[in-house]
Amino acid sequence: MSDRIVDAKVIVTCPGRNFVTLKLTTADGVTGLGDATLNGRELAVATYLQEYVCPLLLGRDPAQINDTWQYLYRGAYWRRGPVTMASIAAVDMALWDIKAKTAGMPLYQLLGGRARDGVTVYGHANGRDIPEVLDEVAAFLERGYKAVRVQVGIPGLGAVYGVSKDRTFYEPATGTDRPEETRWSTEAYLHFVPQLFAAVRDRFGFDFHLLHDAHHRLTPTEAAKFGKRIEEYDLFWLEDPTPAEAQDAFRIIKQHTTTPIAVGEVFNTIWDCHQLISERLIDFIRVTPVHAGGVSHVKRIVEFADLYGVRSGFHGATDMSPVCMAAAIHLDMSIANFGLQEYMHHTEETNAVFRHAYYFADGCLHPGDEPGLGVTLDEELAATFPYRRAYLPVNRLLDGTMFHW
Ligand code: GCO
Ligand code: MG
């Protein structure tokens, strides 16, 4: 007699930032967790799950992951989109958690076992000016990181993407009543940022991976010119050079530069990136379980990407809860075409609510040995951190024109 899902609960908590988590329980008493956090729009996903998905899950066999995925994807008629796909992702992650716990093994074992010793990660070095960033890079390298992303304040501009106000924790979703408004000049950015790469390579050499995120702000021509200009600094990747929805824009970039290109943190399905991958227009695909349909769908995307020499670079900012991070790490451990994993620290409160088996050592994350995803959610503690509305910033050009954040 097969098992049945008897409870589906959505837990919203704010231990430093908001997280939405789905917890499934089976008649056999096994529980599974799935991350459903969509930064700045959390309650839309919580409602989608609570009102439309949870009732459908009760009574289903937790072992039938593929059928449940298709039931929620094909069965909704309205396909794709961040809200729908984060909801499906949460169900998928929770079902894989249950399956691996039932099998008594860490999830990566079910996905085919270890394909590497550990998951190499990159940290975020940032600062208001170049000397501050250099100090941060030094600190990451001292802690054993083998890859570092650098972001810097731009003279003449106020707050810019990727530069923390808080030195220990980066969270861009700060506006509670309305989004924070920032101002932007692509000219000022393109003029200044190569000086940062020059300073980093000058002081620390080339013996580690250097990365940078342009956060979707350049035109294809600007990105092509920029990529070419910075080739001498040998970036591991230039991330999100142009707005990600236009897949053909990347053809222009690729025709002009050998700086490797990463994109995909805002993608929800394979349909958002199949052209980028099959035409070899990118080098790294940045999808992550919570925003791209869970473990099952991300596995499908990276296996497809492997056919074209595109490697993984899963998104791992603070808005991916430890549940999503664990799912990403289990995938990273087992896939053939692993590239690099993003890793940002969660707050102590977050780590207390979501106790996790994964840990950092020697520049890598390791999944630990617990069965399933290896994450437990302390519901009582979670309830002491109520939801607080938060918006990601919006961005305008210096003349007030709405721009990409
Ligand atoms: C990254 C991302 C993040 C996003 C954030 C939005 O590369 O880590 O660009 O910083 O801005 O995840 O919610
Ligand atoms: Mg990014």
In tens, the pLDDT along 232-247 reads 999 999 999 999 999 9
**Residue 134 class from Cβ within 10 Å (0-12 exposed, 13-18 middle, 19+ buried)?**
buried
Cα–ligand 2 centroid distance for 214 (angstroms): 8
Residue 32 has pLDDT above 80, yes or no: yes
CB atoms within 10 A of CB 223: 25
268-287 pLDDT per residue, tens:
999 999 999 999 999 999 99
Residue 398: pLDDT band by 50, 70, 90 thresholds?
A: very high
93-113 pLDDT per residue, tens:
999 999 999 999 999 999 999
Ligand 1, atom 12, residue with closest C-alpha: 317
Q: Which domains does the chain have, with CATH numbers?
A: 5-106 (3.30.390.10), 110-369 (3.20.20.120)
Residue 1: pLDDT band by 50, 70, 90 thresholds?
A: low
15-28 pLDDT per residue, tens:
999 999 999 999 99
Closest atom of ligand 1 to 342 CA is 8
| Placement of tokens 């609570």 in the chain | 50
Q: Are strands 402-403 and 19-26 parallel, antiparallel or unpaired?
A: unpaired
Q: Between the CA of residue 392 and those of 41, 95, 251, 301, what are the distances in Å?
A: 9, 30, 29, 27
Contacts of 157 (CB under 8 A, 6+ apart): 182, 183, 184, 185, 188, 189
Cα–ligand 2 centroid distance for 215 (angstroms): 6
How far, in Å, CA of 110 to CA of 2, rounded? 19
Query: For position 164, what pLDDT does the model report?
Result: 84
Residue 169 has pLDDT above 80, yes or no: no
> What is the mean pLDDT of the segment spanning 342-369?
97
> What is the mean pLDDT of the segment spanning 205-234?
98
Contacts of 141 (CB under 8 A, 6+ apart): 148, 204, 208
**Residue 218 class from Cβ within 10 Å (0-12 exposed, 13-18 middle, 19+ buried)?**
buried
Cα–ligand 2 centroid distance for 61 (angstroms): 37
51-71 pLDDT per residue, tens:
999 999 999 999 999 999 999
β partners of residue 86: none
Taking all residues of the chain, what is their mean pLDDT, rounded to a whole number? 97
Q: Which residue among 319, 321, 395 is best mutated to probe the pocket of ligand 1, counting the most ligand atoms within 8 A of its Cβ?
A: 319
C-beta of 317 in contact with ligand 1 (< 6 A): yes
- How remote is the C-alpha of 29 from its chain's centroid? 31
Q: Are strands 147-152 and 209-213 parallel, antiparallel or unpaired?
A: parallel
> What is the mean pLDDT of the segment spanning 170-192?
92
What is the percent of the chain with per-residue pLDDT over 70, rounded to a whole number?
99
| Placement of tokens 């449940």 in the chain | 68
Per-residue burial over 141-174, b = 16 or more CB atoms within 10 Å of its CB, e = otherwise: beeebbbbbbbbbbeebebbbbbbeeeebbbbbe
Residue 166 has pLDDT above 80, yes or no: no
Contacts of 295 (CB under 8 A, 6+ apart): 92, 93, 96, 107, 111, 289, 327, 330, 331
The answer, as to whether pTM is greater than 0.85, is: yes
122-137 pLDDT per residue, tens:
999 999 999 999 999 9
Query: For position 2, what pLDDT does the model report?
Result: 84
Query: For position 298, what pLDDT does the model report?
Result: 98
Residue 112, helix vs strand vs coil: coil
Q: Are strands 5-13 and 19-26 parallel, antiparallel or unpaired?
A: antiparallel
Query: For position 330, what pLDDT does the model report?
Result: 98
Residue 187 has pLDDT above 90, yes or no: yes
Q: Active-site residues: which are they?
A: 161, 215
C-alpha neighbours within 13 Å on the C-beta side of residue 88: 30
